[in-house]
Amino acid sequence: MEEKFIIEGRHQLFGEVKLSGYKNAAGPLLAASLLTDEPCTISNLPLVEDVFSLISILKEMGADVEWQGEKTIKIKNQNRIDPKKINSSLVSKSRISVLLLGPLASRFKKFKIARPGGDRIGLRPIATHLESFNKLGVVSYSRDNFYEFERKDLKAREIILKEFSVTATENILLAASKIKGKTIIKCAACEPQVQDLGMMLIKMGAKIQGLGTHTIIIEGQNHLEGVEYKVMPDPNEAGTFIAAGAIGGGKIKIINAIPEHLDSFLDRIKDIGAKISIGKNFIEVESSKNFKPAKIQALPYPGFPTDLLPVVVPLLTQAKGKSLIHDPLYENRFNYSQEMRKMGADIEIVDPHRAIIFGKTPLSGVEIESWDIRAGASLVIAGLVAKGKTVIKNVYQIDRGYEKIEEKLQKLGANIKRIKI
């Protein structure tokens, strides 16, 4: 049944919000459990649709999954894992499923998988993944919306990525951890979730050097052990609540945060005019009415995160002057701007990768639709500051990446509710 959010704007936000686990870290950790026959216990899982989908895919392949609490599972992948039982429908709905490629390539000589789905933010080819697997000795074929993989000559080799792809780096880490010899990844992504996966693989017995840099060296092991591991807190959720707090008319504290994961974001949002205080494991933000225009470009970590570019746009609509945002990664990232224009925002799409925001413009509540996870978060923030009632349809897209966002906002004082259509 489809659901929507109804937001009555201009209610001040006060209080504390605790971050959930990071969806983009949970996916690779769950995939890593396929590398061992021993049980793995993964805690602090975010209760979001993409994570539920990946767990369901693993169960249908033959994994034993036991929930040991609201956010902890014990998962055991024994010899009965069968890639022929992959749920293609779930794979085609979730981009996170692309992370199955690495473990499956190390475990099976042949397998096929549907094209992974996900956000509608533009072309998201996996050519970098396929080229990397080919260098490792795993060839692939594309047929009828499926990828077919076959191991030919699996060996550790040096791989130079053609882009700083997070999921390609993670897939090579996963595959190489079971390949005898030394695999070297150059131009590797160094995002926090890549480091988190590497730390879990090290705990399982893999030998990995260079995490957090653009050159990673993996010495694969024949046997990896089961482990207990906790998913890191979500920096994208932190950034979303920071933006909401900055525009929300009050003062909120984000706890269970890792501020250094957000260095670039925090630096730029301070430039815009947000009032930020940083502690060891918390970030406090006080609302501001004096926002400044800015030029912001999404960059690989530790640069400004592409996933947090949409959530600063509502702030820029309230800045006096002209702002420019640039996302060189995805050509449809700005689909939310059309919805925000319905609310009164003055946004001009210069080309598929750049947009200009003219401010200051008052926002008014209307009926709009979420097209992807971060677009939805951006529209929620806009609804918080808009005059009147905002109705956001297709909240499934938001649920894919945010755990009970409306309940967390309600506790802060927002007037937001979920309605079944």
Give the pair of three-digit tokens for residue 411: 């506790």
Q: How many CB atoms lie within 10 A of CB 227?
A: 20
Decide if 4 contacts 411 (C-beta within 8 A): no
Decide if 310 contacts 378 (C-beta within 8 A): yes
Q: What phi, psi does 352 have (nearest 5°)?
A: -60, -15
- Of 128, 174, 182, which is closest to residue 156 (Cα–Cα)? 182
Q: How far apart are CA 202 and CA 213, in angstroms?
A: 16
Q: How far apart are CA 272 and CA 169, in angstroms?
A: 33
pLDDT given for residue 120 in this prediction? 43
**How deeply is 153 buried, as exposed, middle or buried, from its count of CB atoms within 10 A (0-12, 13-18, 19+)?**
exposed
The alpha carbon dihedral of 87, 21, 16, 10 has a sign of negative
pTM: 0.95
Instruction: Look at the chain and count its residues.
Output: 421
Q: What phi, psi does 71 have (nearest 5°)?
A: -130, 20
Task: Give the CA-trace dihedral at 128, 132, 137, 142, to 10 degrees.
Answer: -10
- Of 138, 137, 186, 139, which is closest to residue 162 (Cα–Cα)? 186
pLDDT given for residue 230 in this prediction? 98
pLDDT given for residue 117 in this prediction? 66
Q: How many CB atoms lie within 10 A of CB 123?
A: 7
- Residue ranges for the chain with pLDDT beneath 50: 118-123
Q: What phi, psi does 6 have (nearest 5°)?
A: -120, 120
Q: How far apart are CA 12 and CA 135, in angstroms?
A: 54
Q: Which long-range contacts (CB under 8 A, 24 or more apart) does 125-131 make?
A: 126/98, 126/101, 126/167, 126/168, 128/161, 128/162, 128/163, 128/165, 128/168, 129/98, 129/101, 129/165, 129/167, 129/168, 129/171, 131/162
Q: How far apart are CA 136 and CA 152, in angstroms?
A: 9
Give the pair of three-digit tokens for residue 158: 């040096």
Q: How far apart are CA 349 and CA 252, in angstroms?
A: 33
